[in-house]
Each structure stands twice: as C-alpha cells, then as structure tokens.
A = this chain, B = another copy of it.
C-alpha cells in the first residue's frame, strides 16, 4: 500500500497527475491507499478508486509549512509547486522564497523525519529545460552545464543540486525531471512567452483565431501533457539504483519547428483550422524564444524508459483525445 503526496496539485500538470493516479488507483502496480493534494489554493478532488483523498491549501513558502505533510510519511512525494518564469522574474524575492526556500524547507522536513525514523521517500521534482541558457549547440548535450538566464531557471537549477545532495546523503530518494515545453497546454491563451506554441494549435482546433508571433522556422523542444504525466508516474516507481548519482534527467522531447506544428494542425484540423493562424511578428517574443534550446539530448532518460511523442501529429492527437473528447471542432480527418 502506498501513500502519495502531490505538492502543486492545482496546476495543470499536478491536476492531471492526480486524476491519473485516482483513475488508476495504483502507482507502479501497488495500490494507493491515501492521496494528499495540496497547493497554495486548495486543489479539486478528482473522482476515482482511492479511499482516502485529502485536499488542502498549503503555502510551502511559509517556513515549516511542509512539516505536517512530511510527518504523515508519504512514500512518494511529487513536488511541482513553483511560481512561473515571468512572475519569478518580476518579483525577485517571491521567486526565491517559493521556488528555492519552499523546496529547501520541504527537503529539510524530510531530513528531520529521516533522522527521527529512517524515513526516505521517493521525491519526484519538476525541473525545467529553463535551467539551460543560450548560447547552445544545435543539440544541447546530455551533460551540458545549467547556466540559466532567468531567476526561475536559477531556482530550479539550485533545487536540482539540493535534490542530488540530499539523495547522495541518503535523506531522500530523488529524481529531478527537466520538462520540455508542454504542448498543447489546455485552457485559455495566456501571456507566457511560450504560450503561442500551444495557442496556434488549441485555438484553431476549437474554431478560434490564434496569433503566431515568430517565424515558421523557429525550432523548440516539446512534450504533450500526457507524456509529462507519464514522466512523473515512471519516475515515481523507477528503480533509482539504475540512475547513479546524476539524479536530474533531461526528459525526452520532440524537437520540432513551428512549421511542423502547422503541418500537424493542417493534418488533424484541416485547411480551415490552419487558416485561423494569423502571423503577427512580436520582436520581444522573437528575442526571448531565440534564447531557448532547439533540441536537448535525453539519452539517459530514454535508456531508463522515459518515452515521448515522435511526431507533432501525435502531440496534436493526444490533445484531441484528452481535451476535446476525440474530435476537433474543425474538419480535417
């Protein structure tokens, strides 16, 4: 029997992860007896097969807020709580308080419980390819140094180092996942610089216009929400003795251009969907996206069994199946 905790369970990935675990009722073949979902706002409670599902509003940036979550001794802790890149850049102190100190407090609570009882949970940490900063080679190599160009990326890179050291010391059993840009993000268009990668697929598939602010040749690195959930579930039950001391892994992704996205949109949604994409260059977004990695080596993660889509058409199909009940509102096939 397994007890599971998700910190950051109200976010897009956290919510889908909770739904997946509830729906299955199991994690890595073992029944989940209790699932605790927390976030700075109380997460919703998914339907499913788990007897005890508790939800609570917990602000991990408050010192010792993690303590009671840890003394309940969950076997697996998914830690996804963070403020996003733009907010961490706009509010320096808040970014460090939540994204760094909140994580360190969690790890310290685990270390104390470890000292008290030998507790050593699996901790799956959501990191990001934002730990990497330009200039890049065409493919960022497996062991490339994180030299982030945002405070968010810095905070994630620091937490990765802490995760590895706390693991090496035996306080916890950590796996850090450097997530590619998630596409297609469900929900409304947002102002994130990366938003258009999803907008130009999601909106036309729903019959809405979308703005493309960069050129068709822009290349970036993607995984679907479905794949991201797969990464977390796999990391939760993986035999970590196979990983070795480098516990932070580049997740596999699909390296693709905007042109590839549009071709997939046309295949799935037809010419009508494609016609809803309006080109409107935005110099600010062009400059930001220019600093992002076009492709990232993920040999180690693939060897460890992490998988991802091979084509953009699969990514779009995953969106149609998971978010649109299997049917795009536009034509196509």
Contacts and interface: CB of A to CB of B under 8 A. Distances in A.
B169 A149 contact: no
A151 B133 contact: no
Contact of A143 (B145, B161, B164, B169): B145
A148 interface: yes
A158 interface: yes
Contact of A158 (B92, B133, B148, B158): B158
Given A157-B161, A158-B161, A245 B149 contact: yes
* A contact residues, range: 20 to 34
Contacts of A165: 148, 151, 154
Given A154-B165, A158-B161, A145 B145 contact: yes
Contacts of A111: 92
Contacts of A158: 158, 161-162
A133 B147 CA distance: 17
Given A154-B162, A158-B161, A164-B154, A147 B246 contact: yes
A163 to B, nearest CB: 10
A48 B124 CA distance: 56
Nearest to A136: B143
A147 B161 CA distance: 7
A144 B143 CA distance: 6
Contacts of A133: 245-246
A121 interface: no
A168 interface: yes
A167 to B, nearest CB: 11
A146 interface: yes
A246 B143 CA distance: 16
Contacts of A145: 143-146
A186 to B, nearest CB: 32
A120 B70 CA distance: 41
Interface string A235-254: 00000000001100000000
Interface centre among A92, A133, A143, A164 (most CB of B within 10 A): A143
Interface centre among A143, A145, A168 (most CB of B within 10 A): A145
11 contacts: A92-B111, A133-B245, A144-B144, A147-B246, A148-B164, A148-B165, A149-B168, A149-B245, A154-B162, A154-B165, A158-B158
Given A146-B146, A149-B245, 17 more contacts: A92-B111, A133-B245, A133-B246, A143-B147, A144-B145, A145-B145, A145-B146, A146-B161, A147-B246, A148-B161, A148-B164, A149-B168, A151-B169, A154-B162, A157-B161, A158-B158, A161-B161
